[in-house]
Each structure stands twice: as C-alpha cells, then as structure tokens.
Structure 1
C-alpha cells in the first residue's frame, strides 16, 4: 500500500556495513529508528496508523505517523480513525506493527523488496509478556529476514546513558512516567532488578485526555478546537505539578492574587467584526443634493398635476354655471327635456354638482377648512333640494327615476349616519377633555389626596381584574375539583342550559327539537347583545390601564404589578443579541494546569485504584532492600526521572517531598531529571548496540528456529558492558 508522509527518506542506507545494528525505540507514543553509534535517531514519527480511502479513486491509502492535516480533504476518514498497536505499553496488534515497521525501514532507505540484513535492537516494556516478544521476533525474522534481534527496556537504557554522563550512580531508581504506563525500576551494581519493579496504568495519555475533557466541558462551544495535538501542546506548555495539591486548590478557590498570576489564557483565532464607517461629509452632501433634486422634481410634478386638476375643475364649474344660467331662462315643464342630453335629471342635481365642484376646487386650491365646513353646513340645510325624488311617490316616477330615487335614499341615509357619527365623536372628545380638565383641577387642589385616591382605585381594580382572571383559570373550587362547567361564565352556562332543555319535549325523553318553527328562535336568544363573552374587552382592564398610565405620569416612584395589566405585558423579556468579542474566544487555564498532572500522584482522581509515583518508589525500595538500610540509602540517593512527563515543572520537588514523607527522617534523597527524557532511551540503546560485546547478547535467526519461542522466555539483556 502507498504511504503518505512528510518525513524525508534517507539516502545512505547502502553505505552502512551489514554489521551495523539498527536501533529502534518502539514507544507507545513515538517510533524512533536510527543507526547504532549515532547520537540522534534518523526517523521519528507518531506510532499510529490510519487507512482512509481516497475520495476520487477509492484506493485505500496507509497514513503512518504524523501527516499534514490538509491531506485529509482528499481522503474519506469517516470510517477510519488513528489506530495504535499498543495496549498499556504492550504490543498486541502486529498487523498495525507491520505497517509501522514497513514505514520505518522505508524511511531509512531500505527497498521494500530486499531483506533487512542488519542486526536489530528494539526496546520493549518492563516484564514484557513472552507472547508479545515471540510475535515481534517472528515478525522480524520471517517478514524482514533480520540476522539477529536483541530486546531491551527503554527506561534501563535511559538510566545507563545518564550513568555514563554522570547524572546518576550505579545503584538507584529509574522512574519512567511514559505514555500509557509508569514504571519504577531499581538498579543494583548497574543492572536492573525486575523483581523490585512497579507499574501503574497512568501516563501522559491520561493527563492529556483529562485536560481535553475538562476544557470541552468548560467551553462546549469551542470543543472542535480541542484536538489531541493542540491539547498535548497546551499540556507541555502550561501544566505543572503543584507542591501541595490541597493548598494550591484552596488558592484558586479563594481567588487570591497568586491564583490570577498563575492563570494562563489561550487566544483562539478571532476576526473582529467589520465596522462600517460612516459616509464622509462629501458623500453626505452629494446624497443630500440628490435628494433635493429628486424632491424638487416631485414637487414640480405635484404642482403640475394640481394645476391641471384646478383647470379641469374651473372648466367644469364654468360649464355648470353656464348650464344653471340657461336653466333660469327655461320653463319648469321643459327642464327634463332640456337636460336630456346633459346627463342630469333635474335642476337640483345640477346645483348639487355645482356645489360639489366648488368644494373640490376650494380643496385643490388649499383654502381654509372653516370655509369648507361652512359650505357643508349650508348645503346640509338644503337636503330636500339635494334629494328631490325622496318625497315623490313611486307611482309618479319612471323606472329611471325609481333607480335614481333609491340611490338618493341610500346617499341620504349614509350622509345622515356619517353626520351622526361625526357629531358623536365630537361630543365624546369634548366629554373626554372635560373629564381630563376636571381631573387636573382636582389634582391641583390637593395633590396628596388625589394621589391616594388614585392608588386606592388602582388597588381595587387590580384585585378585581386578578380575581376575574383567577376565576377564569381555576373556576369555583368550593366543591373540591374543577370541572368544565365550573370554568364557564354566565353566558356560556345559559347557552348550555338552553341547548340541554330544548332538546327534550317536557321531559318525555323524545328528541323533537326542530319540528316547530318556534324552536329555531333559540339561536336568537343565544346571540343577544348582552352576552358576556371572553372575546370582548373588559372595561375594568381598560380602566386599569388608564389609571396605571396616569400614575406613571404623576408618580415617579410608582411601579406597576407584573401580574396585572392584561396580556399586553410580556411574561418574560427576550434577551438581546450581544455581538461576540475577543474575550469570547479566550480559553482560560486555571485550576486545570495542576489538576490534570496530579493524577500521576493520585490516580484515583480518574478512577484508577492504584498508587502514585512517590508510593511506587517506596514500594520498589521495600521489595528489594529486605531491611538493608545501606541499600535503601543508596537507592534513594540516585533517583532518575525519565519519559515524556518528566518535563512537567515541579515533578522533581514533588517527588522529593513525597518520598521524604514515606522514608525515615534524615534519609538522603536525591531526584534528578534525565538529560533528555525523550531521546535518552534511544541514545542509551545506540551506545549499547555500538559496543563489540553486543553481537554476543543478541540471538540469531538460527537460534530462534532451533530453540523456538520458549528460549525467549528466559532471555534477558545485560546492560553492563
């Protein structure tokens, strides 16, 4: 399968002799491979495999280790996630391990078709199961054809390398908080003693996972930004080991100044909203000029239309005046025949049209309204003249005159109704103004008494409206439960009584409703004007609204009740939209900085019922010393911390304090950090494989074929060379 990677392929593979071993640090987090004797590995990549399909061709592509995230847009990764060959630091998925070894040897420069003719030194975990070791040997011998293989513990190689540098002594402890597990290995005379080692299933993976979960719960709307790689960077950059976890937690709980100084902020990408700048003065002046030109054009068009209408009305008015002058010279009996061609039926109709045209002309010219009202009042007097056919009997009229009479009756009734409504509005307005004036006079006479009376009226109306609403909602609860009949008002109960009693004829039980014409009068009784229905406007509520508005005008301390005032008052206030700011895209790291790494010392924080680093060191010392005080002192004087989690600030001081608490008073304790906690394991293995004694410690392919995997059960590499 083709590989996808950005790691550069080595070109000097054929320059190394077959006796030069290949050193592999097969860690659960990273895979490191290089040549023995060199100081740094040649190839380093994540120890994961992903096999997505290409979106265009459908071909399965093997993605090993780190890769460019932009490549994922070409692959369908919905059904393929990153997979690891490890389970708690033990290799158990050898199909995935084969992909990783293929990729590692390919990046070293070896061709896929040729055999690997170099000895291999590969690291493993402490007390690796023989099944995993035999399967790894089978894979290297059968698939790649390596001549010999040697297995070694990564933490032991790191301790031996730092011993050569003078960091630690021959006797001591190696504490390795790795990716998924943490090991403590005691060393006596330069050799690891595995019977005194300890292991805990807590490592850097659990710290990163805990930090990712806490941030996702704290900022759920930014959960997509908390990728594994980014959270890993946040852990290595901001997390630390607290000297005293309880005191540190209380410090953040009380919100002290020191807690604020220890808080870190991660700013997510944020683009400020575009602020639209207002138009310049020149732009405003230009738009104002355009509006002025448009307004002037509209005014000219309106003036031209008004002038045209005035001319038309003046011509019409002159024509009507000329017709009225001619009618004065015509005899009364000749008027209908004279008006036959003009479209008018009588002299009164011509006069009414003349008055109407005069009113329209005055309105078009914009004359005062008083004159127009005077004209209307003058014309109202001559109603009989405007409607001459109303009092004429129908027997004396022609069919055309009958239609005209009906039209005049309709116009007269409409005009009279309009005049009555107008007069009623005027009277109501005058009455309202009179009441307002009287109310204002009473307020000016005694403001305090007026305010007290208004507040009393408000309380009375409030209680009345509230009581009515309560009865509508709950009904009469004197008998216990609330039924449908108890929630009905008086009008609705009357309807139900009429319907139920009218359906039976005098209690005989016969349904004779509708057989008589009188039965249908029931619906007229049900639709009376005095029906108190819920759809109408309650006068008490209307008056309450007026009193409330009046109190708000004269009393600045008045606060209306929320539950009173009708449905116009909303039950809740809709929250206003707030634009997102830069602070909304900030991730604050406070207590999470020391809470997540604390699981190395208290695994029970994540549900793992095991001991922490300091107690592991004490347990390893007790297993090995058997009461020898001298050996215990030598072990505690040289404690080396290696592995990725050794970079966490404060881990050395916390280990010294924790081990001091479980050891006798005065015990010498010295804890050191490895020179390079990540690469020292590979460098120690490279130094060990470059010695001439290494060939005698590796077992060959012929030994594997002759002795089988049982011989691997007792195989153990000697680190003292």
Structure 2
C-alpha cells in the first residue's frame, strides 16, 4: 500500500492544557506526532529533509518530508538529495532533526520557539547516551519543553497489543524496521535489554535490493524506477517464500504456476497511429491543400519577380541618366565626375548597363534578340574590359588598387575557363577522330581489328593490375617492416617517388657539409613544393590507362557479343539483410518481476544475500532466548508461545509462517510456538506511547529541565522507562 502523508495544519493547539503530553514516534522512515490519549497521530510525514535551489533566483529552500512534484519543477534537485537525521537507527544529525521538529510542531499549531507540553519521544533499543543527551538538549533549550521521556517503539507496540489480548506478559517482540531488525524478550511485562538482538537489515535494504535488480534488468527504464515507486511495488507485490529453494526452482523451471506468480508493471505507452488507405475525401482535401499552397507559392514568386523587375528598371534608368550626364561633362572634368559616381570609366558604366539590360530581359522572360546575340559574340578587348591592369600602382588610389586586383582575378579566371573549355573541345574532337579511325579499321578487316582490340585490352588490364599491386605493396610495407616474397624497394617506386627520394637525399647531403643555410634563398622553398606532390603514378597518371581501358571495354561490348568485362566476373556474394526497424510495442514498456518478488524480502532471513554477515530473523529469536537468565523451567516455552511481529517490514505476506517454521527448527520438538502479528504494525508503536502518556503515572516517569541541568548526562545514562504502571 502506498504511503499517504498527513500534514494538514492543526488549529486546536490552544484547546489542550499544558499537562497534556505530545507523543512523537521518531522512526527512521516516518515521523508521527500527536496528542496523548488519541487513537491516531495528527501529523505523519517522511523523516527526510531536502534543500534544493530555486531555478530562477538561486535561493536555497528547505523542504521537510514529502515534496509536491508540481512544486519541485521550479527547483533544481540535481545538487541536493534527501537527507536523513539517522545513521542506521540512531539520530546523529541534529541540524536536520531540528528542521523536522520545527515542521512537526508548526503543523501541530505550536509556536516553534516555545512548546509548553511534556514530550514522550521514541528511540531505538539501547540508544547511545550521547544521542539521547543531544536530543534532550535540543528539546529543552530550543523548544522550552518542561519535561521529556524516552521509550522504545517496539516495547510500546508490545504493551499496546498486550492490552488488546494479542500477546502475553512473557514473550518476544520481533520488529523488522526501516534500517534495522530487533528482537526484544519481555519477562513479566518488562523488556530485558541484555537479551535483545539486532541485525542491520530492514525495509530500506529490501527496497534498495529491488531497485538494483530492476535497474539491471531494465537499464533503459532506470528513470522510471524511482525510490518512491519501488517502495510501492515492494509493499504491493513482494512476499516471503515458505521454502526459498523450492520457490526458486519453480521459477527456474517455468510453467503455469510460475507464470501465475509473475507480476507486470505497465509503463505509460501510446500506441503508434495505424496508417490505413486514405479515403477519397482525404485525398481530395490533401489535393486542395496542395493546390492552395502551390497558388500561394506562385503568387509569392510573381511578387518577387515584379519587385526584381522594378529594381532593375530603376537601376537601368539611373545608368542611362548617368551616361546622359557624362556626355554633357567636359573632357577635363570627366575624372572628377567618375570619382564621385564610383565608376572608373565610361566603358564600365556601359558594361553595367548591358548586364542590367540582360538581367531585365531574363526577368521578363523575353527571348534574346539579334542585338543581344551580337553583343555576346563581340568580346571587348582586355584594355576596355579591364582598364586598370596596365596602369602602374603608384598612379592609382587605394580604391582603384582594390579594383585592379579584382580585375586581375577576373581576367585570370576567365582565361582559365576559356582554356579548360578549349581543352575539353579538343579532347572531344580527338575522341571522335579516334573512334572514326577505329571504325574504318574495323570495316577493312573485322577479325584482325577484333584481335588487336582484345590484345590491347589484356595489355591495359595487366598494367592497371600491376599498378594496383605496387600501390598495395607500398602501403603495406611502411617503416622498417620487411615482408618476405615482396618486390624490392626500387621496383615498387615509380618515377615521382624516385624523384622525391633524390630531392630528400640531396637536401640531407647539402645540410651535412657545414653551416645549415637552407631556406635563406627563395629558390630553396621550391624543394618543398616538389616533395609535397603526392602523385604515386607515372607521368601519364592513373586516369590515362583506366580511361583507355574503359573505352576499349565499351567498344568490345558493342562489337563482340562474347566479351564479358571483368567487373561482371565478380563472384556472387549473398546480400546480408539488414534488420528493419521494429516499432516499440506495449511489451517494451512492461517491467516484469517474478523471482524478484520473494528474492528481495529473503534478505530478512538471509542477510548474506546482500553481503551482510549477520543472522536472520529466525536465528535472532533463538539468540535472544538463549541469552535469557534461566529463572524458571517453562520460561523458554512461554517466550515462544507469544511472539509478536511489529514494524513496517512485517507486512510481507508469508512472514509469519516462515518465522514460525524457522523458530521450530531451532527449538526442541514439541515446544509451543505461536507467532502473531500486531493489530497495526505501523501505528501500534505510537498508539501504545499515546496510551502510556495518557496514564496518571506518566509524570513520574519523565525528567524535567531542572533535573537535566542538575544531574546532567550521567543521570540520562541511568534513565530507564518502566512500561508496567
């Protein structure tokens, strides 16, 4: 069952007299506080404190108990984690304990600085006197409590169930708590602390073990496996196996019985949409949407085209007006006029006007006229097109120098494009001429031509393969490695590589003659350019042979029906099918736990499963019985005849039967054994303390602030509460 906190602010604090005690069950997991004589505590919350920072302001806030997920989205919790005031079951962080007490008293309606009621607070068995002294100091000096009493929670639960008739005056109380498990024997209604037993295993370790197992089993769902959710899963699905070994074998074999005991936690999952064939209405709707989008795009393109035409027309009118003004300017004032306009010469203005006119015709979609074609064919001279190239630099302004560099770059680029175009044209003519010659040879003697073509194909194939082998040997023989059976170093190197080796040798030889003056002259740096050429092929290059081989292979495929290229002779390789993407299904968002249901609570009986070298709950009962003084003949029988289970971790199904079976194994045959569970294992400790604090003899069991200041810590060491009033 999930934990539900009760933190509503109480408004009746002033209605209780100052003699009415406040009862506090200070557990390792939950903090419970209420009034003596009532049946249930007023305030219940988790005994933790967290101090996150606000994401906007960076201010640190203190959150006690459970936090609201809706509120925590405004705080950064990555650098802070929940902290407890307990080390195992002993309070040692009293700064955190002060935050918890402040919150508890404030929820009860008391002023945090003054609490004028006696306080009964629970503690662990054999609590160290230092912890008890610090707790008394905190209650007396911080809150002004008039008197304090300390009692053991398991003892209060046993006395409460004794009043209900569930257990006897002599018996054992087994209390598996949050971090520890205690066994306390009761003789004549009073606990015998010298015979009690403790094991450092509790509900915290069960939850932590379950969280580890689920995280290892489902690492991709670790963010969903939170501590709070694991606590709920533990209390809802875990159980104690009567025989752990047989239960484990049952799940190992599988079968219907194991399947029935398996539980499944379904995580939130949204099924993917089912894609079916669209209807005619859907197709028509999508077509209408597409048509509207196309119309909108056409309108945008038309608006952009109109804007472009307007800009070009305005620019053309400006250039024509500039040329008209330039015609009215005298010869001596032309340079000044052009300097103001940003143009260098009249020819540049006319060239810009021609380009604008061409762009305008293209934007309007008009075909090129004869005048335009004539203008394209007429190539102005370099002097008119690039007027600043032949002018000395000292005669130009800085702006004109930049323009000169730009014109030099444009001229070089244009000439390079023309040369590349001419080269491609010549190569095309050469291929056509060669194909024509080959066709004439084939018509003269088809058989001889076919034989020569096959021989040339074999020769080129051998050259290409040999080149590939040399390159492979060169790559695999690096450094000082020497592969036996390979060709020599001189045979592997081609002409370019040999030239690089010669240059390196020459440079090294010259450097060793005397003073190193390499780099003093500009000619020395040409050596780096020659050595940096990474051309591992002969002068003809790799493309010459391969291009010729490809041409001959294509020619053979056209005229020889029996010719098969080498690429087609590659042996068949089976195609490896790549697994297609599988969409996530409902089963991918399920966390299934079967053996974890009883494996995690088993650590209460076998702590060695989590590396704790201590005894289990059943052996603890035997240890406590053996530690009892032998007062009477039937004391041990009375002890085992009234064994009370209390504490939050005794809520697992099957724990009573398992504990009874374990104690029966260590007791003599025929011994009476009766194991009972408390009426409410979680709240009975507080209810027993509330009944005890409401009795008339309770003030005699407390010690006041005056006693604390007069007697000090030594009196707290000897302080023991009597549970039988």
Cα deviation 1:244-290 (Å, max 9, x = unaligned): 22222222222333222211111111122334554312343677899
Partner of 1:591: 595
Kept in 1: contact 2:177–2:649 (CA 8 A): yes
Distance 1:210 1:42 in 2: 32
Cα deviation 1:480-534 (Å, max 9, x = unaligned): 95389769896546876787689999xx9999xxxxxxxx9xx999726698999
Calculate the TM-score normalised by the size of structure 1: 0.66
Partner of 1:418: 432
Partner of 1:687: 691
What's the secondary structure of 1:186's corresponding residue? strand
User: Which deviates further from its counterpart, 182-191 or 651-660?
Assistant: 651-660
Partner of 1:349: none
Distance 1:223 1:191 in 2: 47
Cα deviation 1:584-634 (Å, max 9, x = unaligned): 111111221111111111111111111111111111111115496521111
Distance 2:504 2:155 in 1: 103
Distance 1:537 1:42 in 2: 97
Kept in 2: contact 1:116–1:144 (CA 8 A): yes
Cα deviation 1:53-101 (Å, max 9, x = unaligned): 3344444322111121221122233333211111111111111111111
What's the secondary structure of 2:148's corresponding residue? strand
Distance 1:413 1:127 in 2: 103
Residue 611 of structure 1 pairs with residue 615 of structure 2: yes
Partner of 1:361: none
Partner of 2:272: 273
Q: Quick one: structure 1 residues 425 and 677, their matched pair in 2 at CA, closer, same or farther if it must change by over 3 Å?
A: farther
Q: Quick one: structure 1 residues 292 and 650, their matched pair in 2 at CA, closer, same or farther if it must change by over 3 Å?
A: closer
Give 1:421 shift: 4.0
Distance 1:30 1:292 in 2: 67
Distance 1:590 1:624 in 2: 41
Kept in 2: contact 1:6–1:68 (CA 8 A): no
Partner of 1:600: 604
Partner of 1:69: 69
Partner of 2:581: 577
Kept in 2: contact 1:474–1:487 (CA 8 A): no
Cα deviation 1:116-139 (Å, max 9, x = unaligned): 121111100000011111111111
Q: Quick one: structure 1 residues 144 and 424, their matched pair in 2 at CA, closer, same or farther if it must change by over 3 Å?
A: farther
Cα deviation 1:662-683 (Å, max 9, x = unaligned): 2222222111111111000001
Cα deviation 1:288-317 (Å, max 9, x = unaligned): 8999999xxxxxxxxxxxxxxxxxxxxxxx
Distance 1:590 1:634 in 2: 39
Calculate the TM-score normalised by the size of structure 2: 0.66
Equivalent residue pairs, number: 545
Residue 131 of structure 1 pairs with residue 130 of structure 2: yes
Give 1:236 shift: 0.6
Q: Quick one: structure 1 residues 106 and 492, their matched pair in 2 at CA, closer, same or farther if it must change by over 3 Å?
A: same
Partner of 1:546: 568
Distance 2:221 2:82 in 1: 22
Distance 2:535 2:284 in 1: 69
Cα deviation 1:133-192 (Å, max 9, x = unaligned): 111111111111112111110000111111111111111110101001110000111111
Partner of 1:92: 92
Partner of 2:17: 17
Distance 2:291 2:496 in 1: 65
Kept in 2: contact 1:504–1:510 (CA 8 A): no
Partner of 1:117: 116
Kept in 1: contact 2:6–2:43 (CA 8 A): no
Distance 2:67 2:427 in 1: 91
2:721 to 693, 708, 717: 717
What's the secondary structure of 2:723's corresponding residue? coil
Distance 2:283 2:80 in 1: 60
Q: Quick one: structure 1 residues 287 and 509, their matched pair in 2 at CA, closer, same or farther if it must change by over 3 Å?
A: closer
Distance 1:279 1:106 in 2: 64
Give the unaligned 5+ runs of structure 2: 295-420, 451-465, 513-529, 554-563
Give 1:701 shift: 1.8
Q: Quick one: structure 1 residues 497 and 671, their matched pair in 2 at CA, closer, same or farther if it must change by over 3 Å?
A: same
Distance 2:185 2:535 in 1: 106
Kept in 1: contact 2:496–2:538 (CA 8 A): no
Distance 2:595 2:580 in 1: 32
After TM superposition, the structure 1 = structure 2 runs for residues 199-218 of structure 1, keeping only pairs within 5 Å, are: 199-218=198-217
Partner of 1:385: none
User: Which deviates further from its counterpart, 620-629 or 129-138?
Assistant: 620-629
Kept in 1: contact 2:637–2:672 (CA 8 A): yes
After TM superposition, the structure 1 = structure 2 runs for residues 616-631 of structure 1, keeping only pairs within 5 Å, are: 616-626=620-630, 630-631=634-635
Kept in 2: contact 1:126–1:194 (CA 8 A): yes
Partner of 2:538: 527
CA RMSD of aligned residues (A): 4.7
Cα deviation 1:297-352 (Å, max 9, x = unaligned): xxxxxxxxxxxxxxxxxxxxxxxxxxxxxxxxxxxxxxxxxxxxxxxxxxxxxxxx
After TM superposition, the structure 1 = structure 2 runs for residues 196-595 of structure 1, keeping only pairs within 5 Å, are: 196-284=195-283, 417-418=431-432, 421=435, 481-482=482-483, 492=493, 527=538, 546-547=568-569, 576-595=580-599
Kept in 2: contact 1:475–1:486 (CA 8 A): no
Partner of 2:29: 29
Kept in 2: contact 1:172–1:639 (CA 8 A): yes
Q: Quick one: structure 1 residues 82 and 412, their matched pair in 2 at CA, closer, same or farther if it must change by over 3 Å?
A: closer
Distance 2:654 2:6 in 1: 35
Distance 1:263 1:698 in 2: 52
Q: Quick one: structure 1 residues 613 and 413, their matched pair in 2 at CA, closer, same or farther if it must change by over 3 Å?
A: closer
Cα deviation 1:456-476 (Å, max 9, x = unaligned): xxxxxxxx9x99999798679
Cα deviation 1:668-709 (Å, max 9, x = unaligned): 211111111100000111111111111111112222122112
Q: Quick one: structure 1 residues 498 and 672, their matched pair in 2 at CA, closer, same or farther if it must change by over 3 Å?
A: same
Q: Quick one: structure 1 residues 65 and 495, their matched pair in 2 at CA, closer, same or farther if it must change by over 3 Å?
A: same
Give 1:214 shift: 1.5
